[in-house]
Structures are given as C-alpha cells and as structure tokens.
A and B are shown apart, each in its own frame.
Chain A
Amino acid sequence: MKKSPWNENEIEDMLRELPKLKDNRTKEEVMAGIYAKKKKKRSLQLIAGIASLFLMIVFASAIWMGREYEVSQGEQESNRKLSVPESEQSSDYEGRGAKTKENSSEDAQENQALSSKHAQMQSKDEALDIEPFAHGQEKAFAHAIYEDELKHSSAITLGVPDDQMNIIVPISIKLRAFDESDTLNQLVRQMAAIDEKRYGLADYFPLDVSFNEGNDKNTAHIEFQEDSPLLDDGLFLLSMEETLLYHNIEKLIFTTDGKQGARFSHGGFLTKLDIPQYKHRTYLLYQKNESSPRLLVPSTAQYQDFAEALQAGKRQSEINGISPAIPTDLNWERIKSIGNHVTIHLAEDSAFENSEQVLQALEAILFIAKDFGYETVKFENAPIEKVGNLDLTGDIAVPRAPNQMK
C-alpha cells in the first residue's frame, strides 16, 4: 500500500503556518459599517411594520365588509320571509345559495368559479388518491407505512429538504396499486403534485430533469441540461438517494445533453451513483412549527453499530426544528441480534405507555433497525402489549416507509 505523504503532525504544523488574515479597514470604517447595517435593519423593520399594519387594515376592513354583507343578507332574507312559504324557510345551505344567486349575478359567477375550482381540486385529489386537504387540520403525527398495508396499494416516498435546506425528510404517499415498472412515472407525478409547504418543508419539487428507466429495473437514468441549476444544488443527490432508496433502485446513471456523466459542483464529475440500501443512520424528529406535522427524519451522521445509533436517537441536535425521536426515559438493557432479527430488551424502569410519542419512538427504532439491515424487531419486557397498532408480544416487521401523508 502506498504510504501517505503527510502525517497528522505535519498537517498540524502546516495549519499553524496558515497566515494571519487582517481586516484592512480602520476602526471608523468598521463603525460606519455597523451604523449603516443598523440603519438598514431599522428601515427593514419599519417597512415590515408598515406592511403588517397595512395587512391588518385590509383584514379588518375585509371582516367589516363581510359583516356588513352578512347583515344585509340577513335583512334580505328576513324581508323574503314575508313572501316565502314556511316550508322553504327551513331551507339548507344550497337553498340559501340559490337565493343569493337570485340576488346577485356577480356572486353567482363567483360561486360558480369557486365551486368549479373546488371540484377541480377534488378531482385532482381523487386522481392522486389522497384525501382532500383541510388547511389547519394537518395531523401532528405521521405514521409509517407497513408492508401488510400494501396488499391493494403502493407507496411512493420522496426525499424533500427541510425548510432550512439542512436535511432530507422522507415523505410517503399511499396510492392505488401500480406496477413496479411504473414507479419512475409515479415518482415524477408525485414530485409535480406534492405540496411540500404543507409539511413544513422546502418548496423543492418538481425538478427540471428527465427520469427514465435504466437497462434494468434497479437502475434509473437522469438526463440534465448543461445549465441545469440542479448541478449546483448540494442537496439534489441526497434527495435522490433518499427517494430512490425506497423504490428498489440501486443505481443512478447521469447524462448531460446526451453525453455521459454530469458535473456536480459539490460532487465532481459523476457518471453514476450507487444508492446504498443500509446507511447505518439514526432517526430523529423534524417539525417546522406546531402547526406542521412531526416527521421522522434520518440523520446525516452514520453510526458504527445499532446500539450506538439507537442511543443517538435520544440526542439533541443543533439543527433547527430537529429534536430527539426517542425519549431519554425509554431505556433498554441489552440488544441481541441473530441474522436479520434483533431483540431489544427494555429496562424495568423504562417509561412506556400507549401514546403517540412512544409509538413514534418505536417507529424510529424500527427504522433504525431497517437502516442496519434488520427485517424484524422484538421488544422484550414491555409493560404493555400494544402501542398504537404495534403488537409488542411478537416480532414486528420493519416498516416499508416513514411519514405517511394523507
């Protein structure tokens, strides 16, 4: 083996030799810079203040106008009551809508436009097999998708960067069953349809590249245009790795304008990328804010062994929005593995209850196990038999994909 030309002591010496870098500005210039910066900040705050005041006025007047409208509508209806028979007085929403239509043709048009938009949205949701989304009703906790749930359906998982573009969060969507050969088309379709903001993630998809099947079903092919901004995007390859990991694709082949390979500014020139199936990571929680769902997210760090990764699932992170997935009071005494099976013997004093927090922690553990190549997990010495749908009395098969979105 070729001996390295540097040893660590030499590198340490070289580091100490790095030159002193000086700020050539005078003290007064620095102060002037601070002054300008503070002034800029203040004016930005002022603009923000004025903008929010303006918005408040707009909202307040909208509410006021709305009230006036309601009042006038109420008056109109009470006037109508004089001539409308008793049976029609107990009319429902549609009846009232009809009355409004009679009164105002403009309103009628608006209603029509809204209802057609609503219908459009509904048909879009039906096509995607996703329940229509009600704003503000996003579930706080996203379950994993298990293999036995996929008898008559299929799942698509996308690796989406978080709001601050620090980590990749896998998001899974259950669809009507489709053939495995159609996976790439389904992926592209879901990339176009996903509303990342809804989950507190960055608006990342769709991507301006074309996906094609490779020579075999485990290979995908990505074609870039030479000036594609994705080539400068440090998260692109990570997002692809996370996405394709769940769809049995083991290799990505790149071409740029028909030529073999692609030059990534952060990864150099690559003709292909192997997608590792087992990355030995831990799982943590990501939640942008209280109104967005709590999602399981794989760490960027990798760990030597399963026990270390489990322990890391309890650690706090420096990244914004990331918190431990496993509570510190959920403890285990020993971990034993045989082949693809791992047994976790829970400690006597382990805090364990049938709660969403414990369920999500257990799912995190199952995904960590999956990342280490285990297929089944047994929790021994659990004080209760079931947590959510997980039956702790037997072996639990590791889930197919995390963060099912409905």
Chain B
Amino acid sequence: MNSNLPLFFYQRRSVVILRMKLDRVTFYTSLTTIFMNGCGEMMNSVFHDLYEKYHQEMYQFIYYMTKNRETAEDLVQEVYIRIMKAYERFEGKSSEKTWMYSIARNVTIDYFRKQKGWKDKIFANFDWNRQSIEDYQPIPEEVAILNEDIQNLYQCLNRCTTNQRSVIILRYIQGMSIAETAEILTWSESKVKTTQHRALKAIKKLLEDLSAKEGSGIEKIPMERKRN
C-alpha cells in the first residue's frame, strides 16, 4: 500500500471493485430489467414480442440501407430504444410492423445525417437526389457467394438516392406491398410507384455503366432468367 495515499482512497477503491464484480455477476440476470426505468415488465415482454416477430427483417432492412454489419447491429438496438420510448404513444393508426419500419428508417436517416455532420462521406448519396460512383463497403458473405450480376446489383443499390433505396429494399427485398411502403414512408402510393420506377431506371443505368467499365467495351451477356 502506498503510504502517501489516504486510507479512504483504498476504501472507496474496494467499494468500486466490489460493485464492478457484482455488476458482472448480476448482468445477465438483470437483463430482464433493462426496460424497468419507467417501463417495467410490460416493456420487457414487448421487447420479446417484437424481437420474435420482426427482429430479423428489421435488421435486414437496416443492413441493406447502411451496407455495414456493425452499423446495422448498432442501429437495430437504437430502434428498440426508440420503440420503448415511444411505445405508449403508439396509437395503432398504422400496423405495428409499418410503425417499426418507420422508426427503423428514421434511425437510419439520422445515422446518415450524423455521418454527414462528421464529414464522413461514405454515404454521400444520402442527399436524396445525388449519386455517388465509388463504393467501398465490403460485400457480405451471403452476397459474395452469388453470381456477379447479383454482386453488381448489390453494389448499385448504394448508388441510388436514399429514397430510391428505401423503396427498392422495402418492395423487393422485404416484400412489402405498395400500400405498406407508402405507409412506412408516409408518402402517397403514386410517389412510391414513381420512385420505384426511377430507382429501377437508375439501377439499370448503373448496371450498364458498371458492365461497360468492367468489360471495357465487351458487351455483357445477362444470365438467362426464368420469369415467375
């Protein structure tokens, strides 16, 4: 013991260490009380319920929006925090699912905004109407094992505007109807249709550009595809 230090220093330090140990021991058992701050057991059961019903699709939506696993993991947690905060205000005007998606989209957009604020321009195409050319996000394994066309398509998604990307992901990857997409984005159905059409055109153009760049003049032959 360093004799220069007063006794209460050691007493306080041991209290802190004891508390840390207790924290670790009780950590997992206290998980159920995560939402106890003003939320209680009800919030806990709400979390379990929402997790079972929507977690994977919410995660997938955010992953395709951000193209980054760690970010998606972080943001999906933020979605739960916001849901817990706003759950009492949920009026049931929209379905639980579209409400969750709206929150997930807002969380994602806030994240893009923050990135902008920090001058990190990974998502420079966030600005609704601009397109970026380069994309440095790694391709996830699930995509990397698929054919080149799908990989290119995945890369092109990032180069659409945020609105276009939202519509494409909701409609084709999440399998939402036009009406559900409109509800999530709080748009009219016609705006969804127009944005979807523009997004498909943009992707087509990007695929063509990519194909021209990669093939350097050699025309790319698309895979034969059976229409459903």
Point out residues on A near B: beta carbons under 8 Å. Answer: 2, 4-23, 25, 27-28, 30-35, 37-38, 41, 164-167, 232-235, 238, 264-268, 299-302, 318-320
Contact A31 B204 (CB under 8 A): no
Chain A hits for B146, CB < 8 A: 17, 19
**B119 an interface residue at 8 Å Cβ cutoff?**
yes
Contact A266 B56 (CB under 8 A): no
Contact A15 B172 (CB under 8 A): yes
Alpha-carbon distance A12/B76, docked complex (angstroms): 27
Alpha-carbon distance A18/B51, docked complex (angstroms): 23
Interface range on chain B (Cβ under 8 Å from partner): 35 or more
Encode B204-228 as 1/0 by CB contact (under 8 A) with A.
1001100100000001111001011
Shortest distance between the CB of B97 and any CB in chain A (Å): 17
Chain B hits for A35, CB < 8 A: 31, 34
Contact A300 B130 (CB under 8 A): yes
Name the one of A32, A37, A302 contacting B81, with C-beta atoms under 8 angstroms. Answer: A37
Contact A18 B132 (CB under 8 A): no
**B200 an interface residue at 8 Å Cβ cutoff?**
yes
Contact B142 A20 (CB under 8 A): yes
Shortest distance between the CB of A368 and any CB in chain B (Å): 17
Chain A hits for B129, CB < 8 A: 299-302
Contact A23 B34 (CB under 8 A): no
A15-B168, A15-B173, A30-B76 as given contacts; A20 in contact with B128, CB under 8 Å? no
Contact A12 B200 (CB under 8 A): yes
Within 1-59 of B, Cβ neighbours of A (below 8 Å) are at: 27-28, 31, 34, 47-48, 51, 55-56, 59
Contact A5 B219 (CB under 8 A): yes
Contact A6 B204 (CB under 8 A): yes
Chain A hits for B59, CB < 8 A: 21-23
What are 30 A-B interface contacts by the 8 Å CB criterion?
A: A5-B208, A6-B204, A10-B222, A10-B225, A13-B225, A13-B228, A14-B150, A15-B172, A19-B143, A21-B59, A21-B140, A22-B56, A23-B55, A23-B72, A27-B48, A30-B55, A30-B80, A31-B34, A32-B27, A33-B74, A34-B47, A166-B113, A234-B124, A234-B125, A234-B132, A235-B121, A238-B130, A264-B133, A268-B133, A301-B129
Shortest distance between the CB of A22 and any CB in chain B (Å): 6
Alpha-carbon distance A261/B166, docked complex (angstroms): 34
Contact B31 A28 (CB under 8 A): yes
Of all chain B residues, the one with the shortest Cβ separation from A270 is B133
Contact A11 B203 (CB under 8 A): yes
Encode B159-182 as 1/0 by CB contact (under 8 A) with A.
000000000100011000000000
Q: How many A-B residue pairs have CB under 8 A?
A: 155
Name the one of B73, B81, B153, B204 contacting A18, with C-beta atoms under 8 angstroms. Answer: B153
Chain A hits for B78, CB < 8 A: 37
Contact B81 A265 (CB under 8 A): no
Contacts A233-B121, A299-B129 known; 11 new A-B pairs at CB < 8 A: A4-B208, A5-B222, A7-B204, A17-B150, A18-B153, A23-B56, A34-B47, A234-B121, A234-B130, A265-B136, A300-B130
Encode B94-136 as 1/0 by CB contact (under 8 A) with A.
0000000000000000000100110101001111111011101
Contact A2 B219 (CB under 8 A): yes
Alpha-carbon distance A214/B98, docked complex (angstroms): 54
Shortest distance between the CB of B78 and any CB in chain A (Å): 7
Chain A hits for B201, CB < 8 A: 8
Name the one of A9, A28, A267 contacting B227, with C-beta atoms under 8 angstroms. Answer: A9
A8-B204, A19-B142, A22-B60 as given contacts; A30 in contact with B51, CB under 8 Å? yes
Contact A18 B127 (CB under 8 A): no
Contact A21 B64 (CB under 8 A): yes
Chain A hits for B134, CB < 8 A: 265-266, 268
Contact B207 A31 (CB under 8 A): no
Of all chain A residues, the one with the shortest Cβ separation from B197 is A8
**B77 an interface residue at 8 Å Cβ cutoff?**
yes
Chain A hits for B124, CB < 8 A: 234-235, 266
Chain B hits for A233, CB < 8 A: 119, 121
Of all chain A residues, the one with the shortest Cβ separation from B27 is A32
Alpha-carbon distance A164/B127, docked complex (angstroms): 11
Name the one of A18, A38, A268 contacting B34, with C-beta atoms under 8 angstroms. Answer: A38
A14-B150, A20-B142, A31-B34 as given contacts; A267 in contact with B133, CB under 8 Å? yes
Contact A20 B204 (CB under 8 A): no
Shortest distance between the CB of A136 and any CB in chain B (Å): 25
A14-B149, A34-B77 as given contacts; A166 in contact with B127, CB under 8 Å? yes
Name the one of A9, A11, A20, A38 contacting B153, with C-beta atoms under 8 angstroms. Answer: A11
Alpha-carbon distance A267/B124, docked complex (angstroms): 10
Alpha-carbon distance A86/B79, docked complex (angstroms): 74
